[in-house]
Structure 1
Amino acid sequence: MFGAVVVGIGTAGWVRIRDMLTPHPGSPAEKLAVRGFISRRNLDNQQGVSQISVEEAVSRDDIHAAFICTENESHEDYGVFHLTIMKKTVSKQNLETSNLLLTKIGISLPGFGFPAFSGIARLTWLVELFGKLSVSAATLEEDSAKGYSKMTAKLLTSDNRPLTWVEERQTGLPRAKNINFVFDSCTLSEIPAAPRGAVGLFMQDLIHFSAKISDQVSPSQLQGEKERVLHCLELADRIQQLCQSL
């Protein structure tokens, strides 16, 4: 068994505890046991799990992993979208140009970090679809009085095909994700529906994570994921540099 601690008890942290207490039967998630949670607040037990300090968590031999469920600015969030259906579509086409626009509703800017990092799931999604990318330009528009921000990043594929990634946020805007991938033979303007999994996304993520720490994922797969994560973080950092240099 691998012991785990949950850092942050908002909605995500509460669900992480729930899923570790009731893992999907027969899945690698059964190898995880929640040993406690960490919070800035002094709280009662959560679902029967007690609060512990950071010092205790790092010193205990029965704790091997941590689930970070705090605000975005306290960690660079890495998420992987389920791309199987869409990758099949994209892999058959030659890209000419594309745009990815994400609009979020009701998000306060403080605490969520720079858009290239807080939205890194979308960047990872583009790398999964089109391979390694480079950044050619990036801008950031902000209106703090209106709580508005818009990041526009110009990207290039390895064969110099252009991609545009936009993260736009303002309280009151409708939540939406819009794409416009123009290929030489067609245009893809909607994300194909993915089949519904047997368990929810949080449990799927828990199962994938458990498989990795219990050596059920090949070293080559882990290395490939490590390289992809580092590549996306480097891209996000370059985007931030370009935006802040203006």
Structure 2
Amino acid sequence: MPVGFGVSLVVRGQTVDPEGMLATLTRDVTLNNIDVDRVGDVVWFTADELGDLSVLAAPLAGWWQQHGPSVAGGVALRFVGPDGVTELTYSKPELAVEQVQRHINVDSGQLYGPGEAPGPIRRLTAALLRRTRNGFTASELLIRDEGSLLCVALAGRDLDDRPRSLEFQAFNPAHDDYDPDDDDGYCLVTEHHVPVVQGLVALRLTPRVLRLHLADGAARTWGVRSAIYPVTLHIENHEIEQLRLQLRRLFSVGGDRLPVPKLELG
């Protein structure tokens, strides 16, 4: 079943004509069998697999950065996915591709034919479960090492096919571009694109569950009902071992300079 997302760029309230951006993508979309459909100034990208859409991260990030996004929020790269519209308004330039890639991963949804979308009972059940329990079930492990930044992400979908994710990020102090004055420590990000820095009291990995003990501030920021946030792991055993190794590595890159949570990774 194809997956896809829509994207547009809004600069100070005006949607930008995407024609120039599309011209730079001709080769990538052809080689990766990505279908392109333009509706006004919103462009829809569709592919057979989510991985095929990853080639769009760098050119979309470049398009966004060319217009000078700032903390003031006047330049927004907007994505249309299963949860509606989300947007990126600012990123450190060196993290822009990573941020766009994360939005593509989260906002790319299954494109349903007539009668194929989750029905009202599944949607209601999923909504009730989200209200009564924290966490989610992860079916995919993503590890990205960009040299200056290490990211470990878990992703899955609820019964109503809404994407869920949890991403750990940390700068690598050994990289040439590392700036200690710009490093507040590890960061956690959910599918709602809400980051929290130094947000863990403890982290425990059991054979099939990654259990986060969130700091009070992190729990409030995410709006979750409990400080305990479990992620059930429906991934292969070798992926769980990779998760263990990469989390241990991620929480060691800060050395003694930055505090880390209590770790029980086995």
With the length of structure 1 as denominator, give the TM-score of the two structures: 0.30
With the length of structure 2 as denominator, give the TM-score of the two structures: 0.29
Question: Larger % of strand: which?
Answer: 2
Larger-gyration structure (1/2): 1
Point out which structure has higher relative CO (alpha carbons under 8 A, 6+ apart): 1
